[in-house]
Structure 1
């Protein structure tokens, strides 16, 4: 039986990953700020981290903080993994972190470098945005009388459980370095995704394409966050919405 530590193990990705690993017969340690017995705040001191990593065969690092702190947390995790001589560190990243100049993406790219230079066996998987994230963006925009969405920008959302399945495979395999990107099955404009959300949720809003400024917007208009050549996901956004809203039409 393999012992695998999942950081961020109560989150959107960490929870289904932990479930999949347990179903496969592995001993799973879930690490988050409040998950007992491995309640560790990677941002603030990391108390209890050495006990969490001791004896682990692999660590899958899913914990992330879009508001800052990822690099500090990753550095603490890498140092603890070195002390415990953990043989394999797996990191989940995002397609386009080296092409779209968002602050959060820069931080993810910096963590990739920390992992690669850790001296540990490592694997990095980049994926496109999860369905859940796209839904939250659209739901926020739909709170207004008019639904503003970025003009000329597409997305390639992917089902989070498919990502969890892939990470579970990687965690029990040998360290593989940077593996092939993983993208959702379809590249769709934000206007198309917005209209799909409105149909599924039963809301009525005019969709308003809005041109934005800045290098990050230009990078996304250029498709820097997409990987159409790696559209390996199966679950579509409409299928995800049907599961969330009960197939309403």
Structure 2
């Protein structure tokens, strides 16, 4: 049986991928800065990373940080994967990384290119934003007397568990290159999504559309981060909120 390494295996997505693979009886090594026995900072690399990848056939790369360092981490991971003889590298990216000039998106696109040129069999899946991210965003904004959202911007949130299913399936298959994008079931305005959060939590906060400026904002307004033709997710934002806060 092939040993599968999941980087970022304690995070929102990586934890779910790990659970699905283990439920199917596969040997999974969870790699993160805090996971034992494979506590590794990918940005630093080193012998601990080589030890974590020894004997592994597949690596699912879920580790990522908006604070930077993804490209350096990917370079260390790919070099160690080559040394270990890894045959399949699976990477989770974001819909629109090639269309929206946003710093974090540019970094994700750069990692895609590193994966594609790694010399290792690869699979890349782009997904839209997780429900969890929107919840975190709205919880932060709701600390103010009102909830400001970017005017004219829509989103297409997807259930992290559904993305995990797709990613785990990809890890068990042969390298497939770029998979079809995966989007949530609905494209909805940020104001509408924020209103759903307000109703689900019982908060009394007006939602206010705020116009912004800049190239990234224009690209988001144009829907560069959406994939309406690939609305394959099933769970809506209300479904997610219902599980978190009750019906």
TM-score category of the 2 structures, normalised to the smaller one: over 0.9
- Structure 2: runs of 5 or more not aligned: none
Aligned residues: 247
Q: Tell me the alpha carbon deviations over residues 5-29 of structure 1, each in whole angstroms, 9 at most, x when there is no partner.
A: 0000000100011000000110000
CA drift at 1:141: 1.3
- SS of equivalent residue, structure 1 residue 167: helix
Q: Tell me the alpha carbon deviations over residues 99-147 of structure 1, each in whole angstroms, 9 at most, x when there is no partner.
A: 0001000000000000000000000000000000011111111111111
Conserved? CA contact 1:40–1:47, under 8 Å:
no
Q: Aligned partners of 2:17 and 2:229: how far apart in 1?
A: 25
Q: Aligned partners of 1:119 and 1:32: how far apart in 2?
A: 24
Conserved? CA contact 1:14–1:62, under 8 Å:
yes
Conserved? CA contact 1:41–1:47, under 8 Å:
no
Q: Aligned partners of 1:155 and 1:143: how far apart in 2?
A: 22
CA drift at 1:47: 3.9
Conserved? CA contact 1:98–1:106, under 8 Å:
yes
1:91 corresponds to which residue?
91
CA drift at 1:45: 3.7
Q: Tell me the alpha carbon deviations over residues 55-95 of structure 1, each in whole angstroms, 9 at most, x when there is no partner.
A: 11100000001100000000000000011110000000000
- Does 1:100 pair with 2:104? no
1:242 corresponds to which residue?
242
1:54 corresponds to which residue?
54
Q: Aligned partners of 1:204 and 1:169: how far apart in 2?
A: 42
1:121 corresponds to which residue?
121
Conserved? CA contact 1:121–1:175, under 8 Å:
yes
1:32 corresponds to which residue?
32
1:16 corresponds to which residue?
16
Q: Aligned partners of 1:146 and 1:48: how far apart in 2?
A: 47
Q: Tell me the alpha carbon deviations over residues 33-59 of structure 1, each in whole angstroms, 9 at most, x when there is no partner.
A: 011111100112444011111111100
Q: Aligned partners of 2:233 and 2:120: how far apart in 1?
A: 29
Report runs of 4+ in structure 1 exceeding 4 Å deviation. Answer: none
1:135 corresponds to which residue?
135
- SS of equivalent residue, structure 1 residue 13: helix
1:2 corresponds to which residue?
2
Q: Aligned partners of 1:182 and 1:108: how far apart in 2?
A: 16
1:196 corresponds to which residue?
196
Conserved? CA contact 1:58–1:89, under 8 Å:
yes
Q: Aligned partners of 1:38 and 1:92: how far apart in 2?
A: 21
Closer, same or farther: CA 11–46 of 1 in aligned 2, 3 Å: farther
CA drift at 1:206: 1.1
Q: Aligned partners of 2:46 and 2:182: how far apart in 1?
A: 31
Q: Aligned partners of 2:135 and 2:90: how far apart in 1?
A: 27
Conserved? CA contact 2:45–2:77, under 8 Å:
no
- SS of equivalent residue, structure 1 residue 4: strand
TM-score by length of structure 2 reads 0.99
Closer, same or farther: CA 31–6 of 1 in aligned 2, 3 Å: same
RMSD: 0.7
1:219 corresponds to which residue?
219
Closer, same or farther: CA 86–45 of 1 in aligned 2, 3 Å: closer
- SS of equivalent residue, structure 2 residue 223: coil
- Structure 1: runs of 5 or more not aligned: none
